[in-house]
Structure formats: C-alpha cells, structure tokens
C-alpha cells in the first residue's frame, strides 16, 4: 500500500510538472512557474533562448564552449535562428553587466523528436564560435 501511494504521488508530481510546462509554453512569458529567484550568477551555465523577435522561448544549459542543451520543442517555433543570452541574472535588463547575447543559426534536434508524443524532446543550439568563460558565464561540467 505504501509503495502504491508513493508511485501514485510520483505520477501526480510528474503530471503536474507537465501541466506547468505546458502552461509556460503557451503563455510564452518570462514567468517562472513554481520558481524562486536564484542568487545572481549562481548558475553560470544557465542560458535563455529567445526568438529573433526577442520573445522568450526557453531556458538551456551551456554544456560546452559552443553548445547549449535545451528541449526540442523550444526550437519548433524558432524559425532558422535564435538569440542565446548568457551571463544574465535579469534578461529583461539587456544593459546588465556580464550579459552576452549571441545569435545562433545552427540547431541539432534529436532525429526522433516527436512533438505529438513529446518523445526525445532534446536539442542542442550550437554557437557560431566558442565562448570564453567569465565571472558570469561558465559551461556545465559534470564530474
Ligand atoms: C529587470 O530589469 C528590468 C529592466 O531594467 C526592471 O524593470 C525589472 O525590475 C528588473 N527585475 C528584477 C527582478 O530586478
């Protein structure tokens, strides 16, 4: 019974996350669902992915000097290019110190990405040239 309850709770938690994610996709706003403000620059691999119109599409993680890991669905509406913002605490403030904005036209989307079934929802945004680490920008290193 305990195991059953645990599994049920996990399923409910997973479903709720999906719902939040959907709501976030549809509103296309800067709103964070169930989030807390991070300490400034405590997550230096965090990227924001914006459309060329400046609209927020998704977050991502800088995992190497040239690649941002994100979800494939984020790029479905992107067209042929996106803007990647690195080193930001407040992406609404483009004048913020330490921010870098780079345009990318190169995406690697999982070959079996299936939007209908939301399978293999993973992609890379490739930057035109390697970025240097700074106080506010570092790639994610898995030890
Ligand atoms: C982010 O920057 C914008 C533009 O400067 C400002 O209006 C807003 O209050 C800032 N938000 C936070 C949470 O600091």
Q: Residue 59's closest CA among 114, 140, 143, 113?
A: 140
Output b/e per residue, 18-43; b: 16+ Cβ within 10 A.
eeeeeebeeeeeeeeeeeeeeeebee
Specify which residues 83 forms β-bridges with. Answer: 50, 103
Pocket test for ligand 1, best of 30, 92, 95, 98 (most atoms within 8 A of CB): 92
Query: Is the C-beta atom of 32 inside 6 A of ligand 1?
Result: no
- Helix, strand, coil proportions of the chain in percent (round to 5)? 20, 25, 50
pLDDT in tens, 22-79: 434 444 455 667 788 899 999 999 999 999 999 999 999 999 999 999 999 999 989 9
Classify 119 as helix, strand or coil: strand
Long-range Cβ pairs for the range 92-95 (8 Å, 24+): 92/30
Kindly list the distances between the CA atom of residue 83 and the CA atoms of 111, 127, 130, in Å, as whole numbers in the listed order: 23, 10, 15
Cα–ligand 1 centroid distance for 99 (angstroms)? 14
Mind listing the pLDDT tens digit for each residue in 66-120?
Answer: 999 999 999 998 999 999 999 999 999 989 999 999 999 999 999 999 999 999 9
Q: For residue 83, report the distance from its CA to the centre of ligand 1, in Å.
A: 20
């Amino acid at each position: 019974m305990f195991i059953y309850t645990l599994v049920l709770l996990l399923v409910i938690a997973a479903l709720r996350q999906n719902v939040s994610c959907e709501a976030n996709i549809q509103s296309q706003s800067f709103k964070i669902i169930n989030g807390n403000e991070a300490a400034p620059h405590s997550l230096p691999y965090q990227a924001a992915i914006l459309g060329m119109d400046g609209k927020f599409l998704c977050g991502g993680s800088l995992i190497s000097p040239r690649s941002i890991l994100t979800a494939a669905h984020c790029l479905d509406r992107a067209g042929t290019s996106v803007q990647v913002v690195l080193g930001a605490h407040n992406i609404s403030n483009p004048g913020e110190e330490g921010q870098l904005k780079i345009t990318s036209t190169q995406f690697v989307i999982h070959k079996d990405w299936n939007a209908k079934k939301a399978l293999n929802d993973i992609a890379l945004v490739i930057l035109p040239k390697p970025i240097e680490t700074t106080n506010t920008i570092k790639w994610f290193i898995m030890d």
